Structure 1
Amino acid sequence: MEDQRTRFLAGVVVPDTDVVRRALEFAEDRCETYLFNHVVRSWLFATSIASIQNVEYDREVVAIGTLLHDVTLNMSFRGPRRFEVEGADIARQFAIDAGLDARRVQLVWDCVALNSTPSIGLYKEAEVSLCTAGICLDVVGLGYEKICAVEMKAITTAFPRLEMKKRMTKCFCHMVEAAPQTAHDNFLRDFGARYVSGYSPPSSVDFVMNAPFDS
């Protein structure tokens, strides 16, 4: 039976279980302060959206997925795979170590791996969709109007943005420079094209045309 313990965080009712507390600590240990604030806001937004939409979902999976979705978003990133996949594997191991069953572990992996692909994530299981929605709200403002002004103020005051746009842009550009092979089929491509001198991403057209077949 799911642990029903809860608490208020920035005015939002969130689960207060051992695994959620460990996920918070795990994220805080691995994220810069601005990034930790981002993942917590994403969790709170996802939780609020679930309440507004009256969605039934696994609260611990959403907590783990949002809180750990950016554990590889940092200036030490070198790949070799795109940061979402590297992060998803870390989150999966966290979930396994926490004792989650196979289905819940897979949902956590999907939450993290698809966190920057809303064209897919928003249409998957409720947990993945909510994680994606909360993250996208905090990064690009998707669904901003769904959160009332009082709640938005409470969340952003408790966990301020700390120049997130500027700091994330710097980190994204570093990742393009350090591991360009991870940056051609996700949003990093756009940051590389705009801000990284000499960046020339491969084309999907070339991949198709250079496939080793006659036609």
Structure 2
Amino acid sequence: MSLTNTKSPPSKLCLLHHMVKGEIYDGLARVKRRLDGKTLQYVAKKNYAVPDTPACMKAIELVRDCSPEFLLNHGFRSYAFGVAMSHKVKKNYDKEVLFLGSIMHDLGLTKEHDHGGTFECDGAKSAYNFAISQGIEIPKAELIHEMVALHDSIGVAQAHEPEVALIHYGAGLDVAALWHKDIHPKTLTEIVTTYPRLDFAEAFILLLKDQLKRKPESYMKTLIELGFYEKMLAVNF
């Protein structure tokens, strides 16, 4: 697998193109769902329970040791939301891999895993090294790397492996309420109750502002210029 080791901020035109294209695609999928008489399925807590493997337990410990609680909970919610929206990928996926990539996807925002590059790629390197240290097979470790590196890549993540798409959907829902129409309301409420937001938007924005100040060409630059902070603050669940 070819790994993503650098990410430059996309142009506004390119990003807007991907966003509009995605909204049209998702809108058509929802219309088809209604026409087919299908409804969103409630997903119970047991379905997004943390996989009981040594690597998952160690990953939680790793993230907890270097992250504030609001960021740790964001990782848990991103995983749970991804599982709850697995109907969007229509493919089998590896729950352990999905959890490992989800819980570690923001490692690059922590002091210990900030190596001076755009945070997605910094975190991806740390997540890959962790996976290898836990005996995870190289193909799966590479997939975890790509989950972290591409989790916020609009128009790109959806076209990759299901685990990459699902962390993109899960994190996007949690950060900016994207795809909130693709999850059962009761499931969403239960996930947020289980893993409280803890003033997530305000705290996360401070981390991003620090990143942009120190790394003005970070990948998130374009999204923020297009009003991403305001979208985060408007989340009401």
- Is TM (by shorter chain) over 0.5? yes
Rate the CA distance shift 1:123–1:193 in 2: closer, same or farther, 3 A: closer
Rate the CA distance shift 1:26–1:178 in 2: closer, same or farther, 3 A: same
Residue 116 of structure 1 and its aligned partner are, at CA, apart by 1.2
Distance 1:52 1:132 in 2: 11
Q: Per-residue CA shift, 1:149-174, capped at 9, x if unaligned?
A: 22111111111111111111111111
Q: If each structure's helix is expressed as a fraction of its own residues, which one has the higher value?
A: 2
Match of 1:122, SS? Answer: helix
TM-score w.r.t. structure 2 length?
A: 0.70
TM-score w.r.t. structure 1 length?
A: 0.77
Match among 37, 55, 61 for residue 91 of structure 2: 55
Letter in 1 for 2:57: R
Structure 1 portions without partners, runs of 5+: 1-7, 195-215
Q: Does the CA contact (< 8 Å) of 1:50 and 1:130 recur in 2?
A: yes
Match of 2:107, SS? Answer: coil
Structure 2 equivalent of residue 157 of structure 1 = 193
Tell which structure's C-alpha radius of gyration is larger. Answer: 1
Q: Per-residue CA shift, 1:5-47, capped at 9, x if unaligned?
A: xxx9945443211111111222222211111111100011111
Rate the CA distance shift 1:74–1:58 in 2: closer, same or farther, 3 A: same
Structure 2 equivalent of residue 206 of structure 1 = none
- Tell me how large the CA RMSD over aligned residues is: 2.6
Query: What is the percentage of aligned positions where both structures have the same residue?
Result: 27
1:138 counterpart = 2:171: no
Q: Does the CA contact (< 8 Å) of 1:173 and 1:192 recur in 2?
A: no
Residue 92 of structure 1 and its aligned partner are, at CA, apart by 0.2
Structure 2 equivalent of residue 127 of structure 1 = 163
Aligned residues: 185
Match among 6, 18, 25 for residue 54 of structure 2: 18
Structure 2 portions without partners, runs of 5+: 1-42, 228-237
Compare relative contact order (CA 8 Å, sep 6+) and give the higher one, 1 or 2: 2
